[in-house]
Structure 1
Amino acid sequence: MVTTSESDKSDKAVPAQRLIFGRRLRTLRERVGLTQTAAAAAAGMDRSFYVEVESARHGVSVDRVPALAKALGVEPYKLFTDD
């Protein structure tokens, strides 16, 4: 039987849109001066989940986008576009 080590799992391709979204989320959060803990709390989500979204380990549903945008003080579309 072949097993996959933890490092092999991290090498799997992450969808490009998830990477872009996570980077954009981090950029906007840093721009407004929030910590990950503060941004997560403002968006009504667990800090560990927020960190995984920002680092592209997890994606978010469209249902969470408005709360994330509100927490960062931007319109939802700003989470998907560069300034």
Structure 2
Amino acid sequence: MANSDSDPAIPAQRVLFGRRLRALRERKGLTQTAVAVAAGMDRSFYVELETARHSVSVDRIPALAKALGVEPHELFTED
């Protein structure tokens, strides 16, 4: 399987979003399972978001933000 950082078929913004999710999750000391459950999704789907193998729908942004304890816009901005 190709690395999402080097796979030209995966949009760069999806890779950046996945990195941001991971950084926020790790900063909060949360597991992937904890975030997934709090956001109402399967852990496997959440992992696919972090690894840029899947993109997130707009409908799931508020749940992800709440699970990570941030405002929705913070999912798209770097510190």
How far apart are residue 13 of structure 1 and its match?
Answer: 2.3
Match of residue 32 from structure 2: 36
Q: Which runs of 5+ in 2 are unaligned?
A: none
SS at match of 2:58: coil
When normalised by structure 2's length, the TM-score is: 0.90
Identity of aligned residues (%): 77
Q: Which runs of 5+ in 1 are unaligned?
A: 1-6
Provide the rounded CA distance (Å) in 2 between the counterparts of 1:34 and 1:47: 13
Q: Which moved more, 1:10-19 or 1:71-80?
A: 10-19
Match of residue 73 from structure 1: 69
Provide the rounded CA distance (Å) in 1 between the counterparts of 2:22 and 2:8: 22
Out of 59, 66, 74, the residue aligned to residue 63 of structure 1 is 59
Match of residue 19 from structure 1: 15
How is 1:46-61 mapped onto 2 (pairs within 5 angstroms)? 46-61=42-57
Provide the rounded CA distance (Å) in 2 between the counterparts of 1:12 and 1:46: 27
Provide the rounded CA distance (Å) in 2 between the counterparts of 1:15 and 1:44: 25
Larger radius of gyration: 1
Runs in 1 of length 4+ with deviation above 3 angstroms?
A: none
Letter in 2 for 1:34: L
Letter in 1 for 2:76: F
RMSD: 1.0
How many residues align? The count is: 75
Letter in 1 for 2:42: D
